[in-house]
């Protein structure tokens, strides 16, 4: 039987995906990659899931790719990064420990990243003779260009304070406040309309100027949508919209990740 390295639980609309391979610092081995991708796909298709939290066990969030595997293993990383970045639900990365190399790619792919203040980060690729090419797709739109260039080239370890300053993190808090800070974000996210959140995630992330005509078309379509009409009615009637009165229960569901 395959060891379960990724756990998936759902409670009150919050899906928690937990990387649980502390023996190799949650490095992305073949089983972990397969199970993580499966968890992302299952939560994307589950209408009861409103927000996804990506967390970990052990002192390291993710050390990157498993370097004991063949070089071709990196071909399986883009679908995972895309699975996070294009996930129809907001994804929150929760770091109680350090991130390195490809692990930072996961952090950058998430919509919101919250870390304990003691965490550290490093793009270690050049020190191993490789290039942070794949993760640059998610990292570069997040991080200040000058800082990204420096950290990619030097491989220097940097702390959560700098990660916050350069745009890699949304929040860095003392370790004992990490849970409450993540709860604060998920509590806000779950108030958003599901379809509106999914469409908002599709807005251009990069630096090119968005197409105003396309954005106007999207905005007009959303104002006319049933979801938006419900939200406007709820606002004028001073009541919560339907999606804040969730159809899901408060029961916890867990599932083995294939």
What is the pLDDT, as a whole number, of residue 255? 63
101 with 28: CB under 8 angstroms? no
Within the chain, how many helices (H) and strands (E) appear?
Answer: 10, 11
What is the pLDDT, as a whole number, of residue 213? 83
The active-site residue out of 41, 55, 125, 150 is 125
- Same-domain status, 69 and 16: yes
Nearest to 157 by CA among 118, 197, 109: 118
The domain tally of the chain equals: 2
- Same-domain status, 46 and 97: yes
What is the pLDDT, as a whole number, of residue 132? 95
Query: Is 55 among the residues known to form the active site?
Result: no
Dump the DSSP string for 58-89: SSEEE--B-TTS-GGGGGGHHHHHHHHHT-SS
Per-residue pLDDT for the chain (258 aa), expressed as one digit of tens each? Answer: 679 999 999 999 999 999 999 999 999 999 999 999 999 999 999 999 999 999 999 999 999 999 999 999 999 999 999 999 999 999 999 999 999 999 999 999 999 999 999 999 999 999 999 999 999 999 999 999 999 999 999 999 999 999 999 999 999 999 999 999 999 999 999 999 999 999 999 886 655 555 768 777 878 888 899 999 999 999 999 999 999 976 654 456 676 656
What is the pLDDT, as a whole number, of residue 203? 83
The CATH code of the domain that includes 171 is: 3.90.226.10
Rounded to two decimals, the pTM is 0.92
**Sign of the C-alpha dihedral computed for residues 103, 104, 110 and 115 taken in this order:** positive
CB atoms within 10 A of CB 203: 9
Any domain includes 254: no
Give the angle subtended at the CA of 98 by the CAs of 94 and 99, to the nearest 5°.
85
CB atoms within 10 A of CB 238: 6
- Same-domain status, 174 and 216: no
- Same-domain status, 203 and 165: no
- Same-domain status, 128 and 234: no
Structural domain boundaries, residue 184: 6-189
Residue 139 to residues 106, 123, 124, 133, 215, Cα–Cα distance (Å): 9, 11, 14, 10, 24
- Same-domain status, 117 and 222: no
- Same-domain status, 137 and 206: no
- Same-domain status, 198 and 183: no
Any domain includes 255: no
Any domain includes 252: no
Last residue of one domain, picked from the residues 146, 162, 189: 189
The alpha carbon of residue 46 and the mean position of all alpha carbons in its chain are separated, in whole angstroms, by 17
The CATH code of the domain that includes 206 is: 1.10.12
Phi, psi of 253 (to 5 degrees): -120, 140
Nearest to 60 by CA among 116, 7, 1: 116
3-state SS, residue 94: strand
């Amino acid at each position: 039987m395959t060891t379960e390295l990724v756990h998936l639980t759902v409670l009150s609309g919050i899906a928690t995906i937990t990387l649980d391979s502390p023996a190799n610092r949650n490095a992305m081995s073949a089983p972990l990659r397969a199970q993580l991708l499966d968890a992302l796909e299952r939560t994307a298709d589950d209408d009861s899931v409103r927000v996804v939290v990506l967390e970990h066990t052990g002192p390291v969030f993710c050390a990157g790719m498993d370097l004991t595997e063949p070089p071709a293993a990196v071909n399986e990383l883009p679908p995972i990064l895309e699975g996070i970045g294009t996930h129809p639900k907001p994804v929150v990365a929760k770091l109680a420990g350090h991130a390195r190399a490809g692990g930072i790619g996961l952090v950058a792919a998430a919509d919101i990243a919250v870390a304990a203040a003691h965490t550290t980060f490093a793009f270690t690729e050049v020190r191993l003779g490789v290039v942070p090419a794949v993760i640059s797709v998610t990292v570069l739109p997040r991080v200040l260009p000058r800082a990204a260039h420096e950290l990619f080239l030097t491989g220097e370890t940097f702390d959560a304070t700098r990660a916050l300053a350069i745009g890699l993190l949304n929040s860095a808090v003392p370790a004992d406040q990490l849970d409450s800070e993540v709860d604060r974000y998920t509590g806000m996210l779950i108030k958003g309309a599901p379809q509106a959140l999914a469409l908002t995630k599709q807005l251009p992330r990069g630096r090119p100027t968005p197409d105003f005509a396309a954005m106007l078309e999207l905005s007009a379509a959303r104002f006319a949508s049933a979801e938006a009409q419900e939200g406007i009615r709820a606002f004028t009637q001073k009541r919560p919209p339907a999606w804040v009165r969730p159809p899901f229960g408060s029961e916890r569901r867990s599932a083995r990740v294939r």
